Amino acid sequence: MNYNEILKRAEKYISEETEQKFIEEVKELIQNKNEKELTDRFYRELEFGTAGLRGIIGGGTNRMNPYVIKKATQGLAEYLIRAKPDKAASGSLSAVIAFDSRRYSDVFAKTAALIFAANGIRCYLFSALRPTPELSYAIRELGCDTGVVVTASHNPPEYNGYKVYWSDGAQITPPHDSGIIEKVGSVSSVKLMNEEEALKSGKLKIIDKEIDDKYWAMLKTKITRTAIIKEMSKSVKIVYTPLHGTGAMHVEKVLGEMGFTVITVPEQRAPDGNFPTVSYPNPEDPKALKMAIELAQKENADILMATDPDADRFACAVKDENGNMQLISGNQMGALFTDYICLTLKENDKMPKNPAVVRSIVTSPLSDLIAASYGVKSFECLTGFKWICGMAEKMVNSGSHSYIYGYEESFGYNFGTEIRDKDGIAASAICSEMALYWKSKGKTLLDRLNEIFTTFSFYGEKTVNLQYPGAEGLTVMQNMMKQVREKKLNEIASVKVKKIRDVQESLEYNPVNPLQTETIDLPKSNVLQYYLEDESIICVRPSGTEPKIKIYIIYPEKVTSSVSAAKACSDKKIEEFEKCFKGILNA
């Protein structure tokens, strides 16, 4: 695209944008003849992907701003009207919108609400920021046909996003995702309505505490050991950080009502889209928890908890025998939750018929072994809670199994069918109860985790991120995946590969006989998994939201003398696998 075409796009954008700051940004770039920056901002439209939008905030068609939000919402509205013609004809279509603490989230949310209203779709808009799991809950509570949350989750502060949900409360999956993408791509004009008119017509309704109260009431149903909580909750001290996001109001209320002493990191309590105390507000990253760890050490806390800016992810650290805070990985917390949920259902004689847990294919299979020990079946799905909760929905509709829990290694956990996404608020409540239960048995969460390792093997893990930014990075990643797929590896770090699962081709095979294949029942996705003879698993895939290739390495080591010795063996083997596989990708 030549510079004159870029300038034409910029002028058109200026004429249609409503946010003055972004208009001024672009005008200044034109005045300064900043061809490079203008090209980056206008060489394409910000892509509406299978989960919605995510991009850098600013002026331009390749940025997050009201212009882009209007087009995306118009496309979503048109798809909704086409998908549900009877409801559209009767004027009964509805949507609900929530937003987080990021810059312009409130502006983007209101912009989207007014587009829905202009298209005859009644829109419920939260009056202030709310966590993503509450948005998922609100969709079905209000009987809405779709939902939107304005968030970029745990990404750096320069980003924002727009995530779309269907009427089941889960993120969009086929065929709706591709149908919405097609509609958004073909939008030629946008319907508009001002706020006063939308409110007066009843097409815009501001919601607030009424949904909070119902969400909190639902969370309370997840709490089962009320006697232990009443007796012992004051004996557990918790330090919590919302990382400048939406979590504080809900976590403090829920844990406070349970009777726990909760100390919130004061510098990180207030919502702030600039995330002034962290460069990357991701609770998976230990650097983001530095202030919380320091406060936990100072307060001699038993547990540290964190949620990401939209409070769907949950992280936890526990005081070890030396008084230091030890971080628990997403896989390890997932195993603890699997164990505790199954144990609690069994002890209370409430285990349903054909119980099932669901995890993503890149998540440790340790939970499968735990679940099986309680007579619970495990299922795998693609990465992302749209797939985990989509599988839960199918189980509910078919009656084949009773879904009790789902999780993935990236600190996401879901507890039942009321919410169809990961829920950091519920995780904080159930983790607190779980810690109290094991304390009543004279154990910490770390003690119970070590018991699990001793029973089933220590499952070592590492996720390696290889960055490939820019337009050329996409080509590099595509070529890497193509080349490694064609190699049909039969050995990695001197360990034989017994099975390759190629999710993009919907098949798996032994590399010794690659023509003898078996079909796998998963949607197509650019993922390769290697199952090795020593029971280790190596998985490689391009990230769906960032310019990087992700390698997941899982290595089980039987505990013979001690968990620490098994961990040392596992860590060494994972290091060998990482070095070897990086070499294979870069060959």
- 175 prior amide bond cis, ω within 30: yes
CA 496 to chain centroid, in Å, comes to 33
What does the pLDDT read at residue 256? 95
* Contacts of residue 198, Cβ cutoff 8 Å, sequence gap at least 6: 113, 114, 117, 118, 123, 204
Query: Is the confidence at residue 468, as pLDDT, over 90?
Result: no
Percent of the chain with pLDDT over 90: 92
CA 384 to chain centroid, in Å, comes to 6
The answer for 356, left when phi > 0, alpha when psi is -120 to 50, beta otherwise, is beta
> What is the overall mean pLDDT for the chain?
95
What does the pLDDT read at residue 1? 77
Block residue for tokens 């929905």: 393
Pairing of strands 402-408, 355-360: parallel
Query: Is the confidence at residue 345, as pLDDT, over 90?
Result: yes
Query: Is the confidence at residue 347, as pLDDT, over 70?
Result: yes
Question: 81-95, 472-486, 504-518, 573-587 — which one is most confidently predicted on average?
Answer: 81-95
Based on the residue annotation, tell me whether 153 is a catalytic residue of this protein. yes
What does the pLDDT read at residue 446? 98
Pairing of strands 412-414, 402-408: antiparallel
* Contacts of residue 384, Cβ cutoff 8 Å, sequence gap at least 6: 51, 171, 360, 408, 544
What does the pLDDT read at residue 28? 96
Q: Are 333 and 341 in contact (CB under 8 A)?
A: no
For the chain, residues classed under CATH 3.30.310 are: 458-586
What does the pLDDT read at residue 473? 80
3-state secondary structure of 490: coil
Report, as an integer, the average pLDDT of 505-515. 91
**pLDDT band for position 474 (cuts 50, 70, 90):** confident
Candidates 94, 101, 105, 153; catalytic one:
153
Report, as an integer, the average pLDDT of 387-412. 95
The architecture in CATH of the region 221-456 reads: 3-Layer(aba) Sandwich (3.40)
Report, as an integer, the average pLDDT of 397-419. 96
* Cα–Cα distance for residue pair 190/179, rounded to 1 Å: 18
* Cα–Cα distance for residue pair 542/49, rounded to 1 Å: 14
* Cα–Cα distance for residue pair 152/56, rounded to 1 Å: 10
Report, as an integer, the average pLDDT of 171-199. 93
* Cα–Cα distance for residue pair 168/143, rounded to 1 Å: 9
Where do runs of H (alpha helix) occur along 119-208?
A: 132-141, 176-185, 195-201
In 258-410, DSSP assigns E strands to 261-264, 303-307, 314-319, 325-328, 355-360, 377-381, 402-408
**pLDDT band for position 471 (cuts 50, 70, 90):** low
* Cα–Cα distance for residue pair 258/586, rounded to 1 Å: 52
Identify the burial level of 184 via C-beta atoms within 10 angstroms of its C-beta, where 0-12 means exposed, 13-18 middle and 19 or more buried: buried
Identify the burial level of 77 via C-beta atoms within 10 angstroms of its C-beta, where 0-12 means exposed, 13-18 middle and 19 or more buried: buried
Q: Are 380 and 501 in contact (CB under 8 A)?
A: no
Q: Which fold has domain 44-208?
A: Alpha-D-Glucose-1,6-Bisphosphate; Chain A, domain 3 (3.40.120)
The architecture in CATH of the region 458-586 reads: 2-Layer Sandwich (3.30)
Widest pairwise Cα distance in the chain: 72
For the chain, residues classed under CATH 3.40.120.10 are: 44-208, 221-456
* Cα–Cα distance for residue pair 75/188, rounded to 1 Å: 9
What does the pLDDT read at residue 227? 94
